[in-house]
Amino acid sequence: MAPAIPLLNNDVTQVLPLGFLLNYPGGSTSAIAVSSNGFVWAQPSTNHGCCAGNGTSLLQLGARWCPLWTDLNPTLPGVHFDTVPANNAAYVTFTNVAEFATTNTNTFQVAFFANGNVEYRFGACAVTAHTTLTGWSPASGAADPGSVDLSASLPIITSPDRHALRLGAGSRPIVGTNVTLTASRVPAGSPLGAFVGGLAQHVPGLPLASIGMPGCFQHISLDATRVFVPTGTTGSMVFAVPNVPALSGTHLYLQAAAFAASQNPLGVVSSNGERVLTGMQ
């Protein structure tokens, strides 16, 4: 193991080269910066995160890995950074680092691998006087997936972030005009999708777990369907609102779906529901 990094209390290292390009959801890096308070930035930073883990900050600031974000004193005895080129790996190790103003010590490690895997490895840890956060975030307003009981759930294996299929309308549905419907966040590689329209709305949505779509819901009646071929991660169609004044005030309910072989047993995902109200100029 390399000698301890000269980290002071409430400090962040200069960038430390990994020796390889690490791809992660939302970006990539070839160097990291280590905070004395138990986390690792994916980019240069001077933010040391004193003096306790903070979920809002984790989701909004830069990408970082947080095995034990709390208030630590790295001078007792130290933090180490090692690279092993033969294994395409790099390691940040906190060895018997004290919780600030206590005699509690903590040993843990973040292991980075060139294939994109990152592992948190824990030895004996004890934090009694400060809030502690264990997690990861690509930041930029990432969604909070909720808390997990580490004592009951290890090992926890995460996969790249997935964003729900999203449906939106480009303009108001005025009688006699065209409205562009766009499905965004279509899973990469999806061969087909569909826009579905109905005259009735399901509130709350009907859960689709029973047909192999856990976490997806049917929000509308299935009265009309238009298939689309995605362009990249989007698909669109033009909906022509008939030039019939009597249609003004009519509610239409819309939803999108797309094939996504790897995302659930059925291989289909659904979007949010969209309610539109036709009107006159």
What domains are defined for the chain? 16-153 (no CATH), 166-277 (2.60.40.10)
Whole-angstrom distance, CA of residue 234 vs CA of residue 214? 22
Which of 121, 125, 127, 95 is CA-nearest to residue 109?
Answer: 121
Whether pTM > 0.85 for this model: the answer is no
Report the pLDDT value the prediction gives residue 1, as an integer from 0 to 100. 83
Cβ atoms 220, 196 nearer than 8 A: yes
Which of 76, 77, 12, 4 is CA-nearest to residue 38?
Answer: 12
Q: Tell me the per-residue pLDDT of 94-138, one tens digit each, with 9 for 90 and over.
A: 999 999 999 999 999 999 999 999 999 999 999 999 999 999 998
Residue 259, Cβ neighbours under 10 Å: how many?
18
**Nearby residues of 234 by Cβ (< 8 Å), 6 or more positions away:** 182, 183, 184, 186
Which of 84, 76, 88 is CA-nearest to residue 1?
Answer: 84
User: Is the link from the previous residue into 155 a cis peptide, with omega within 30 of 0?
Assistant: yes
Report the pLDDT value the prediction gives residue 161, as an integer from 0 to 100. 57
Residues in the chain: 281
Q: What percent of the chain has pLDDT over 70?
A: 95
User: Is the link from the previous residue into 204 a cis peptide, with omega within 30 of 0?
Assistant: yes
Whole-angstrom distance, CA of residue 92 vs CA of residue 152? 25
Cβ atoms 37, 53 nearer than 8 A: no
Given pLDDT bands bounded at 50, 70 and 90, which one contains residue 30? very high
Per-residue b or e along 165-185, where b marks 16 or more CB atoms closer than 10 Å to that residue's CB: bebebeeebebeeebebbbbb
Which ranges of the chain does DSSP label H, i.e. alpha helix? 55-60, 150-153
Which of 160, 106, 110 is CA-nearest to residue 138?
Answer: 160
Higher pLDDT, 189 or 46: 46
Alpha-carbon dihedral 72, 74, 75, 77, rounded to 10 degrees: 110
Which of 150, 95, 97 is CA-nearest to residue 127?
Answer: 97
pLDDT value at 232 more than 90: no
Given pLDDT bands bounded at 50, 70 and 90, which one contains residue 148? confident
What's the Rg (C-alpha) of the chain?
25
